[in-house]
Structure 1
Amino acid sequence: MFSLQTIFGQGKQFYALFNEAADAAYDSTKALHAMLKERERQPSMEPFKHARQRERVASDKISQALVDSFITPFEREDIEALGSALYKIPKQVERFADRYALAQHRLTGIDFAPRAAMLEQAAGVVVDMVRELHTLRLEPMKSLNDRLRVIEMEADRLILELHRDIYSGNLDAGEMFLLKEFFEIMEKAIDRCREAGVVAYEIVLKNS
């Protein structure tokens, strides 16, 4: 019969990998916020590619650890769900950055930085939630989940304000299409953070 010490020992590798994945996702959002604050500079894609690579490595290691490990700290389906949710954050962020670098000259009148700041905050909360996983403490996780929900609601409000620019009548059809695409990508990136937070919260709910 396995002792609790053995079980927790088996789980350390997953917690470390989740931390690395969450950190990589957070770093990608910080890079995006910095890019959008410094619009006069030529955007560099290197920070986003690096974050995606780190995320990919962590994701691959999580998948391999599931194959190699007989004992896991919580259900395998939950491990897969959290790994997948974290993986999608920098993927969506890089998608925004890549398109922004190409279309920056057509977006001079739009300030995405406040929305990117909300995305960075959301990813930061996800980092805190992932770091809390090993404790399985419900109250701290609930507080973080509530905070993430508030950030999501505020981000939705800011993105709604941006939609007013689309329907202002001052844009041509091409500009409207372009802005709508960027709004949707930003919104999806924030949703990805929310999804990761929900998975982490549900893991604690089931195991605390």
Structure 2
Amino acid sequence: MAFSILPRDEQYFVLFQDAAQNMTESARALEDLVRNFTDVEEKADRIRALEARGDEITFQIISRLRRAFVTPFEREDIIAIGRAMDDVVDMIEASAARLASYAVERPTEGACAFAGMIVSASLEIEKIMAQLHRRKVDEIRLPKMAVNRVEAEADGLLRRLVAGLFTGGADPLTVIKWKEIYETLETVTDAQERLANLVEGIILKNA
């Protein structure tokens, strides 16, 4: 069996888990914003702070790479995972910003459904990141498939909601606002699926 006499820096896995937990905290904060639409600016500020924390974790990952000699995965793969997780939180923050700035009276049931899906996928990604250090694709397959299912459900929800906007007799400005909000929320689940697929591919490459 081939092995390296040099220790691998396992701190990356800790940082990945930190980023995943920050993602879930951001998702839960978005769900709270949507389901309890009060103190909107304060809640949006909270999500912005979590997005900034995600940026800091990504910076720590990249900074660690500059000092590392031996890494658990290829450097570009480590960077890709960090940036993919950062992308998810960026889109969560973008969703919150639109809800806060578009002067909506209250979120719709569809927006609440999206928020719940985002939380569900985030929890599955936490499971994936908790197993990443083991480098066994079978151990992340179930949560990865769960993320795929969430994204497929979100795709279908988006189609139904947008169709309803154009057939429900809403005024054009309302249609424009909610179409963009729905599309941004759905983009979060797209980013979550890309992350889950990316991690699976990296594990397979290193199996």
TM-score (structure 2 length as normaliser) = 0.91
**Where in structure 2 are the equivalents of 1:57-72 lying within 5 Å?**
57-72=56-71
1:163 paired residue number: 162
The whole-number CA distance in structure 2 between the counterparts of 1:151 and 1:204 is: 22
Q: Equivalent of 1:35, from 33, 36, 44?
A: 33
8 Å CA contact retained: 2:16, 2:129: yes
Give 1:29 deviation, angstroms.
Answer: 0.6
Question: In 2 relative to 1, CA 141–110 (structure 1 residues): closer, same or farther, beyond 3 Å?
Answer: closer
8 Å CA contact retained: 2:77, 2:202: yes
Give 1:187 deviation, angstroms.
Answer: 1.2
Per-residue CA distance 1:116-157 (angstroms, 9 max, x = gap): 100111111111111111011121212221111111111222
Q: Give unpaired runs (5+ residues) of structure 2.
A: none
SS at match of 2:25: helix
Give 1:42 deviation, angstroms.
Answer: 2.4
Question: In 2 relative to 1, CA 103–110 (structure 1 residues): closer, same or farther, beyond 3 Å?
Answer: farther
Question: In 2 relative to 1, CA 29–164 (structure 1 residues): closer, same or farther, beyond 3 Å?
Answer: same
SS at match of 1:29: helix
TM-score (structure 1 length as normaliser) = 0.91
Q: CA RMSD in A?
A: 1.9
Amino acid at match of 1:149: N
**Where in structure 2 are the equivalents of 1:1-208 lying within 5 Å?**
4=4, 6-8=6-8, 10=9, 12-39=10-37, 41-43=38-40, 44-107=43-106, 111-208=110-207
Give 1:67 deviation, angstroms.
Answer: 0.6
The whole-number CA distance in structure 2 between the counterparts of 1:112 and 1:193 is: 17
SS at match of 2:170: coil
Q: Give unpaired runs (5+ residues) of structure 1.
A: none
8 Å CA contact retained: 2:81, 2:198: yes
8 Å CA contact retained: 2:118, 2:189: yes
The whole-number CA distance in structure 2 between the counterparts of 1:6 and 1:112 is: 49
SS at match of 1:167: helix
The whole-number CA distance in structure 2 between the counterparts of 1:110 and 1:172 is: 18
Q: Tell me which moved more, 45-54 or 82-91.
A: 45-54
> Percent identical across equivalent pairs?
24
